Amino acid sequence: MRVMTLPRWIRTATGVALLALAAPGGAQILPPLPPVGPVIDRATDSLPVASALRGAQALARVPIDRARDLVRQHPDRIALDPDGNAVRAHELIVMDADPALIGAAARQGFALIEQVRLDELGIGYARFRTPAGASLKRALKRMRGIAGDRDVSTDPLHFASGATGAATVPAITAPAPGGTGTGGAIGIIDGGVAPTTPGLTAQKGFAAGGIRAHDHAAAIASILSGGAGVRASAPGARLYVADVYGGDPAGGNASAIGLALAWLTRERVPVVVVSLVGPPNPLLGRIVAAARRTGTVVVAAVGNDGPAAPPAYPASYPQVIAVTGVDARGRALIEAGRATRLDYAAPGADLVASDARGQPRTVRGTSFAAPFVAARLSAHLGGGIDAALRDLDGEARDLGRRGRDPAFGRGLICGDCATRPR
């Protein structure tokens, strides 16, 4: 068989898929991975075309293998729903549950875990434990019979959309920030960050095990507010961090993200970064929409499961600003996922961010593109969200096909904001 040297982007795509498959699946926040580019270049300088295709197929399998691996490791906490998504085991969510429904559910063997009322958003729901011995599929069918036209769902887990390099990079002298800091409030829904994080104003946990600093969340925060030689894309920003993972193997679930977003709306935080992906969920979709009506907009990454993966959420909710990533040469990340509608692109590779210990590391993924867009959106908020989005459109640099396109949305934001490795 003839062997040919493939373009760098194909070699990188293959490597990203293989690295993703090799990563342990026991934590929703991805563990540190080797820097993508150099490792892949050495491993695949000469690669048959068939190998590249296998790499793309492996990328598409990542969410499936990740979910199954989590269930094997935590069968008492995590299960697969009928669509193969990782969800909280033995639990269902019912929207607008009233006493009559709760009583009917109890008679069918469902135990009420909690009833939640988010009055500021006009949303109420209940969490139930499924009947002993009933499969999740059977429990869903039974509860839907009880609930009538009310939404019934599982509580799906969400996963980080990027990884940090395994080794620190050489010390970096950050360039002077462009523009002026507004000191605006920006929320992060992710893992926790260190108390010494620049700009940290408030931090709250929404998962068992308390607040725990994670490299992924720390990287998001550093891109916004700087630190460890990383340039701040939002100088002077006040960060509100919601840890939805803590020490819970079933952390990152939709209900935790929803509660975190409700908290940020109460704190009147106008822009929230969510660099996590999962399947659609009625509860989270309603909370995202209600938050937008109250003046809080979510900026979300499209994920790294590849263009063949299902649309990512929360990026695909219509009220959310969906962001993909590009490398230093303005090329779309081959591993980038997709949303039902793409808004912007921003740097997502060939860049440096801080880890939870305050060390600069290389990072890659659409996760790290979202905070750049959030930073620029925050800078334009004086006239409201709609006016800020029009201003952001004016900043966007058109890439790919002229006008809005599925690879870059309405264009590249903050292309010169990233801190690059030396």
Instruction: State whether residue 379 is helix, strand or coil.
Output: helix
CA distance 221 to 239: 8
Q: What is the pLDDT of residue 167?
A: 65
3-state secondary structure 231-292: CCCCCCCEEEEEECCCCCCCCCEHHHHHHHHHHHHHCCCCEEEECEEECCCHHHHHHHHHHH
In DSSP terms, which residues pair with 240 in a beta bridge? 187, 202
CA distance 271 to 269: 6
pTM of the model: 0.87
Q: What is the pLDDT of residue 262?
A: 98
In DSSP terms, which residues pair with 322 in a beta bridge? 300
Q: How would you write the pLDDT of the chain (422 residues) with one tens digit per residue?
A: 333 333 443 344 444 443 443 333 333 443 333 333 322 222 222 334 344 445 556 666 788 888 999 999 999 999 999 999 999 999 999 999 999 999 999 999 999 999 999 999 999 999 999 999 999 999 999 999 999 999 999 999 999 988 888 666 664 555 544 444 457 999 999 999 999 999 999 999 999 999 999 999 999 999 999 998 999 999 999 999 999 999 999 999 999 999 999 999 999 999 999 999 999 999 999 999 999 999 999 999 999 999 888 999 999 999 999 999 999 999 999 999 999 999 999 999 999 999 999 999 999 999 999 999 999 999 999 889 999 999 999 999 999 888 788 899 999 999 999 999 98
Q: At residue 267, what are phi and psi to the nearest 5 degrees?
A: -80, 0
Q: What is the pLDDT of residue 161?
A: 86
- The distance of Cα 77 from the centroid of its chain, to the nearest Å, equals 21
Q: What is the pLDDT of residue 130?
A: 98
Q: What is the pLDDT of residue 52?
A: 40
- Pick the closest to residue 336 from 357, 366, 380 (CA basis): 366
How many other C-beta atoms can be found within 10 angstroms of the C-beta atom of residue 384? 11
Report the sign of the C-alpha dihedral through residues 398, 401, 402, 408, in that order: negative
Q: What is the pLDDT of residue 308?
A: 87
Rg (alpha carbons) of the chain, rounded to whole number = 21
The single residue listed with the structure tokens 């880890």 is 355
E strands, 56-155, where? 78-80, 86-88, 91-95, 111-118, 123-129, 152-153
Instruction: State whether residue 341 is helix, strand or coil.
Output: coil
Judge whether 186 and 224 are in contact, CB under 8 Å: yes
Residues 6+ apart with CB under 8 A from 335: 13, 16, 17, 20, 59, 304, 305, 306, 365
- The distance of Cα 236 from the centroid of its chain, to the nearest Å, equals 24
CA distance 405 to 394: 16
Q: What is the pLDDT of residue 19?
A: 40
